[in-house]
Amino acid sequence: MTDTIILDVKGLGCPVPILRANRAVKEMIPGDMLEILATDSDAPQDFEIFCKTTGHLYKGCEKTDGVYVIRLEVI
């Protein structure tokens, strides 16, 4: 069974969201989803690069009320 973990990094700038996400995925298993809530406008691009670098799957980003909801699948 896969889990979805929500990581709230609103108000934090780079590199803190990436560092916290990296720590979170180390505690997860393949197939789990990580949903990141961020307000940093660079976060969507930063997490695309993070996924390319680490091999996790970038599942997309939506922006609602100034908050980016970024989803990735742990590989």
Catalytic residues: 14
Sequence letter at residue 19: L
Number of C-alpha atoms within 13 angstroms, CB side, residue 49? 9
Q: Encode 29-54: b = buried (16+ Cβ within 10 Å), e = exposed.
A: eeebbbebbbebeebbebbeebbeee
